[in-house]
Structure formats: structure tokens, C-alpha cells
Amino acid sequence: MAVTNTFQKMKVSEAKRVNIDVNLKVKDDELITFTESCRDLYEAGVPVNDMLRQLQQAISNKKFSLAISLMVDDIENGKLLSEAMGRFPNVFGDDYRALIRAAEQSGKWTKRRDKFGEMREGILDMLISYLKRRKGARDKVKAGLLYPSFIGAFLLITCGIFAFYILPTLKELFIAINPKMIDNPMSTMLFGAGEFVNKYWYVVIIVLIGLGFLLSTYWKSGGGKQLWMHYQLRIKGLGPLFINMNVGETMWLMGTLFSAGLTPQESLDILASSARNYELSKALELAKEYLYQGIPFCDALKKAHWAFDGQTYMVLSSAQKSGRLGVTLQNYAAQLFEKVDQGVEQFVKLIEPALLCVAGVVVGLIAVGFYGSFSSAVANIQQ
């Protein structure tokens, strides 16, 4: 009986492991806090396994805490920290694990003085800066896109209330006064739309749900995501914003990887697997092939995708000649992130009058319909 219970507990434990491995995701803030705590504890001289045990007790996210306990088991069974993190690819991406692996190989975990007495950032410090930069840029873009979404949703709700409650009442009122008041084309179209929504509201809901389901399925299949990744770089007005954000993330990570001591080939491998934009990910893979063909690093990137041309190519070329790829690329990425911030602010400023124009057109069409009805009523009264 005791053996059976032990076997069942082992099965439950293994099931938990599999479930955590597949499904675990954490917020950017949690990952940044985890990394900062790792840096602080490592600077205090705490061994890696003890460091993880302390973090496991301090983390409020139960799934993340369980994941850390599994990482401790792996480390005590002889695995490196980067290998243990590989169990959770949705939490610790290829870029994260690559920097941890570089720290394991070089020993440059935290800040230290070089032979000239200057303080140099450790790889954990670089990783924290990278995570914060990436999160800041994405939060800016999300905030900028959420604002028009809320306004658009508000307009849809307003139109729905108008169609369900106001139009039917007005139609009854106009018919009671004079049925000819709704004979003009604009009024007929307006009241017809309101009547259809009232009569066949379930059809509207079914169509919307069906469209949502189809779009969701297409997105999950990968086709929708690839299509969006392709066109987001080419959208009139918004394209430069997405280009600066994606290229900025790539340049910042590239600079961090070079500063950590990785070769261009290793860096491109990691960049291709960690890039969020599918099109740029394929371009980075292509650049790696060009690199193996003997094409210089900056020319390989330029040939792989047009996003790495222009100013980006000039920066890469000058950095390659000076031998300061790490620092130069991080500084350039910071400039791109500033452009993202400015682009989001400009987009928000432009979207307000644009949405007001849309609202004005809707109100104008409604006013024209009512004006036609009232005009017909006045003409009939005069007759």
C-alpha cells in the first residue's frame, strides 16, 4: 500500500513537471525582479542552488515557485543553470539563456574592475538592462494602440445603443406624425439599419462571433501572425514605429551578446530564434548564411533585409571598423527606442482628431437622415 501511494505521488509530481514545462509563462516584471534578485544574491556570494531556493520562497507566483524548485533539482543533478532554464522556454527565452550561458563560460556574472581599474558591467547587469529596455518599448507601443481601441469600442457601443433604443423610438414618432417623413433615401437607410439590428440582433452577434473565431484560428495557425508581422513593417505611418522597435530590440540584444563575448555567428543564431518579428527572424537566419559565405557582418545584414539598411548599416559598418560593436549598438538601440517613444506620442496625438473625424462623419450621416425627415414633414405641412 505504501509503495502504491509513493508511486502515485511520483506520477502526480511528474504530471506537475510536464504541466509546468509546457504552460508556464510569467510577466515581464516578474522576470526582471527574478533577474535582479539573482544578481544581488550572486554579488553577496550565495551559491546558485541556495540563491534559487531563497527566490523560490520569496516569489508569490506559485507556478513560478514550483518551476524554480524543479530548476534546483536539475542543478543538484549536475546541470548548469542555463540548461535548467531550458526546461521553461516560455519564461527564459533563447536570448536569456544565451547570456546566462555566456556568464557561466566567462565568469563575468556581475560588475568587476578590469585591468585598467575601470568598473565593467556584468552579464546579469546587461541582461537586466536589456529586459527593461525591451519591456519599456513594448509597453509604449501597446499603450499607444490601446487608446484608439478604447475609443473605437466606445463608438461601437454608442452606435449599438442608438440602433437599439433611439432609432426605433424616433421611427414610431415620425410615423405617428406623418409616414412620409421617412420616405427620403437617407432616412430609409438609417431606419432600415436600425430595424435590421433590432429584428436580427442574434444574426449580428453570430456573425461577429464567427469572424472572431475565424480570425483567432487563423492567428493561432501561424498564418495570421506571419501576415501581421509582414505588414506591420509596411503600414503607412505606423511602419517606421514597428521597424524602430524591432530593430532597436535586435541591436540592443546584439550589442549585449557582443559585450558578453559571443561571436557574430553565435549572436545571429540567438537573435534569429529570439526575434519577435517572424520576417526579421528569417532575415537574421539568412544573414548567418551570408556570414558563412564570407560576406562581412554589416553587409550580410543589409543583404538579408532592407530594415538593416540606411542608418543601421552605417552604424554597423562604423562599429565593425572600430571594434566597439557592443557599446555602439547599445547606444544606437537607445536612440531607436527614443524614436519609438516619440512615434507613439505623435501617433496618439494624430489618432485623436482622426477618431473625432470618424465620429463627426457618423453624426453627420445621422443628422442628414433626420434633416431629410424633418424637411419632408415641413413640406407636407406647408402643402
Mean pLDDT value of segment 344-368: 70
Task: Please report which confidence band the pLDDT of residue 9 belongs to, taking 50, 70 and 90 as the band edges.
Answer: very low
Q: Write down the pLDDT at residue 287.
A: 93
Task: Please report which confidence band the pLDDT of residue 314 belongs to, taking 50, 70 and 90 as the band edges.
Answer: very high
Cell of 280: 526579421
Q: Write down the pLDDT at residue 7.
A: 37
Of 251, 260, 30, 254, nearest to 125 by C-alpha is 260
* pLDDT digits 0-9 by tens, 77-88: 989 999 999 889
Cα-Cα-Cα-Cα torsion 121, 125, 131, 137, nearest 10 degrees, comes to -50
Count of positions (residues) in the chain = 383
* Residues 123, 142: Cα–Cα separation, whole Å: 28
Which of 45-59, 231-245, 252-266, 362-376 is predicted most confidently?
45-59
pTM, 2 dp? 0.67
Q: Is 113 helix (H, G, I), strand (E, B) or coil?
A: strand
Mean pLDDT of the chain: 78
More confident call, 138 vs 68: 68
Q: Which of 93-107, 139-153, 228-242, 243-257 has the lowest mean pLDDT?
A: 139-153
Q: In sequence order, what are the residues at sequence separation of 6 or more whose Cβ sits closer than 8 angstroms to the Cβ of residue 76?
A: 49
| % of the chain at pLDDT higher than 90 | 15
More confident call, 172 vs 286: 286
359: pLDDT strictly greater than 90: no
Mean pLDDT value of segment 325-338: 86
Q: Write down the pLDDT at residue 32.
A: 92
Of 157, 339, 332, nearest to 245 by C-alpha is 339
Q: Write down the pLDDT at residue 4.
A: 44
Contact assessment for residue 277 and residue 253, using Cβ atoms and an 8 Å cutoff:
no
Q: Which helix H or strand E contains 296, and what residues bound it? A: none
Q: Write down the pLDDT at residue 313.
A: 92
Tell me, rounded to whole angstroms, the distance of Cα 312 from its chain centroid.
22
Q: Which of 45-59, 121-135, 141-155, 230-244 has the lowest mean pLDDT?
A: 141-155
- DSSP secondary structure string, 119-187? EE--HHHHHHHHHHHHHHHHHHHHHHHHHHHHHHHHHHHHHHHIIIIIHHHHHHHHHHH-GGGG-SHHH
Contact assessment for residue 341 and residue 138, using Cβ atoms and an 8 Å cutoff:
no
25: pLDDT strictly greater than 90: no
More confident call, 380 vs 345: 345
Task: Please report which confidence band the pLDDT of residue 15 belongs to, taking 50, 70 and 90 as the band edges.
Answer: very low
Q: Write down the pLDDT at residue 367.
A: 63
* Residues 224, 49: Cα–Cα separation, whole Å: 42
115: pLDDT strictly greater than 70: no
Task: Please report which confidence band the pLDDT of residue 305 belongs to, taking 50, 70 and 90 as the band edges.
Answer: very high
162: pLDDT strictly greater than 80: no
Mean pLDDT value of segment 297-326: 89
More confident call, 239 vs 143: 239
Q: Write down the pLDDT at residue 177.
A: 61
Mean pLDDT value of segment 133-159: 73
